[in-house]
């Protein structure tokens, strides 16, 4: 991801969210359909379950973001950890649906909106706090997706960032203006 200097919190946050979304997608692209649904053990979540949970969270948090509680009464969080869509296409459709809710809520915001009050589970948050809460939550789960994908791919894994033992070359490319540090 090319670093664009900005002093806008919203612009930077949106860029980071887009980066992490793409990171998860690049990881999911590397696994087989079967691996999307595989777990490491009986207590672990599959990539598909993580995607279903994130999509449910996004729909709840970002639909009516400025006017309704971020924990919608129609959300059944527990069900997000059961029976994900059985097909890759359906799974990716709910992923995109969740991110569409997210981006459509955040993109129209301005810096003046950052101090507005929203609620999540009945607790008051500034808009900036609500964004930060998800900026910690979504990359946490995306890290899980990447870890699982890397585990399942083993030696077929294509790195998503600086390759192992590739720091010197990466630093050379940054110095030459050919790569971003972020």
**In the chain, where the domains are located:** 9-175
Q: Which fold has domain 9-175?
A: 1.20.120
Q: For the chain, give the percent of residues with pLDDT over 70.
A: 95
Report the candidate in 134, 156, 140, 152 with the shortest Cα–Cα distance to residue 50: 140
- Measured CA to CA, the distance from residue 66 to residue 64 in angstroms comes to 6
pTM of the model: 0.89
Q: Give the separation between CA 25 and CA 27, rounded to whole angstroms.
A: 5
Looking at the predicted structure, is the pLDDT value of residue 48 above 90?
Answer: yes
Q: What size, in residues, is the chain?
A: 182
Q: Are 84 and 49 in contact (CB under 8 A)?
A: yes
Q: With 70 as the cut, is the pLDDT of residue 180 above it?
A: no
Of 28, 13, 16, the C-alpha closest to 130 is: 13
**Residue 182's pLDDT band (boundaries 50, 70, 90)?**
very low
Tokens of 128: 């900036």
- CA dihedral (65, 121, 8, 140) positive or negative: negative
């Amino acid at each position: 991801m090319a670093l664009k200097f900005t002093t806008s919190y919203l612009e930077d946050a949106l860029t980071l969210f887009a980066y992490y979304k793409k990171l998860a997608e690049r990881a999911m692209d590397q696994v087989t359909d079967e691996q999307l649904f595989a777990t490491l053990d009986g207590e672990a979540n599959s990539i598909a379950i993580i995607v279903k949970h994130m999509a449910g969270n996004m729909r709840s948090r970002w639909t009516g973001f400025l006017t309704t509680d971020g924990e919608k009464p129609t959300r059944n969080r527990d069900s997000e950890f059961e029976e994900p869509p059985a097909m890759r296409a359906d799974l990716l459709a709910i992923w995109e649906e969740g991110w569409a809710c997210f981006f459509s809520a955040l993109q129209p915001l301005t810096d003046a909106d950052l101090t507005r009050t929203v609620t999540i589970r009945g607790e008051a948050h500034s808009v900036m706090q609500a964004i930060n809460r998800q900026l910690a939550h979504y990359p946490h789960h995306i890290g899980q997706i990447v870890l699982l994908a890397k585990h399942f791919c083993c030696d077929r894994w294509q790195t998503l960032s600086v390759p192992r033992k590739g720091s010197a070359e990466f630093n050379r490319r940054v110095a030459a203006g050919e790569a971003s540090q972020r």
